[in-house]
Copies of this chain bind each other. A is one copy, B any other.
Amino acid sequence: MADHGVAVAVPVAGLQPRTSMTADPATLGRVVTQELSRRWSSEPGLLGAMCRHALTPAGKLMRPILLLESALAVGGDYSQVMPAAIGAECGHVASLVHDDIIDNDDLRRGRPSVQRQFGVGNAIIAGDALIFDLFAGLAECRHTGVPDSRITQALEIVARCGTDLCRGQSMEEELSRTPSFDLRPYLLMIRLKTAALFIGACASGAVLAGGDTHHVEALATYAERIGTAFQIKDDLLAYTGCTHTMGKSETSDARNGRVTLPIILAHQSGTATLRATIERTLFGPEDPAVRRAALAEILDRAGALDACAEMARDHIRQARAALEVLPASASRDRLSSFGDPVIARDR
């Protein structure tokens, strides 16, 4: 650990600037995975063990990839913004670690959640460390050739998106305490809870790479739509997926009585009888697995699962449209197909 008497004089060990390799998706994914494995590898003790457990093996790496592709899409060099991309994944994983405490979820990415493995108190600390690491990653861009003015602009964006994430999590807690079957608060909540970090990734990637304001705004809009679409898909999977494909408990939403989009759509379109059935089932005393199965059938019959899938697809279409102001590039194309898993009609 650092000697704090000379804390200021010693630069953070960071990534060194290097010549960019071909920025194909496989390379980006490989480099991100390597850097994530390296990131907490030399940290001793419990904190290192927890952060490694949370970060590796890696998840889908959507946020770092989006950050890198956004940088490339505005003509930037991906290796310069790599530390920020790693930071974006740290920030996201921090939110998962803390969410799993809040939702009392024991399974994450197919293995015990941090709170399950190390206890609640320690998981709080691990999540905090990963939030600080988000900003440490941003600061490391000082050493990869990113001008200071871009870093401070990205700092402002990322800090606000982080605060928005907390607003969304807090709103989710409020909504679970005083359930609402209105669409508006739900959409605002997921925009804050999920889309905010997508916006942070895309906008900061573009800003760090020197993108002009129009392109940064287009990528922020893209991110907002695609983040919303992924959250809707997630809400859908809670009723159509299984623990194996999700890597987390499929009964979490039912267990926590979460009023998610398929529930709202069925509730809004249904008769008074259907609405009563939905409420009784969602908030009932039965085992979460029983409630989930019953809800899945109700939602399917009501056409809410199809409507939900269509709403996700519509957001993906809007995301793609937002990209049109960007110059044509391989990265723009890849950003455009980023939402393909949502479009796929497997619900």
**Chain A interface (Cβ < 8 Å from any Cβ of B):** 1-2, 4-9, 11-12, 43, 45-47, 50, 94-95, 98, 101-102, 120-122, 124-129, 131-133, 135-136, 138-140, 142, 147-149, 151-153, 155-167, 169-171, 173-174, 188, 191-192, 195-196, 199, 203, 207, 213, 216-217, 220-221, 224
Contact = CB atoms under 8 A, between A and B. Distances in A.
Given A4-B195, A8-B220, A213-B8, A127 B128 contact: yes
Contact of A163 (B6, B136, B140, B151): B136
- Please give the count of copies of this chain that the complex contains: 2
A5 B220 contact: yes
Contact of A132 (B45, B147, B166, B170): B166
A155 B132 contact: no
Given A12-B159, A50-B170, A132-B159, 14 more contacts: A4-B199, A5-B221, A6-B217, A7-B157, A47-B166, A47-B170, A122-B173, A131-B162, A132-B162, A133-B159, A138-B155, A138-B159, A139-B156, A148-B149
19 contacts: A2-B164, A4-B199, A8-B157, A8-B207, A8-B217, A46-B174, A47-B166, A47-B167, A102-B125, A125-B169, A125-B170, A129-B170, A131-B162, A133-B163, A136-B159, A136-B160, A136-B163, A138-B155, A142-B152
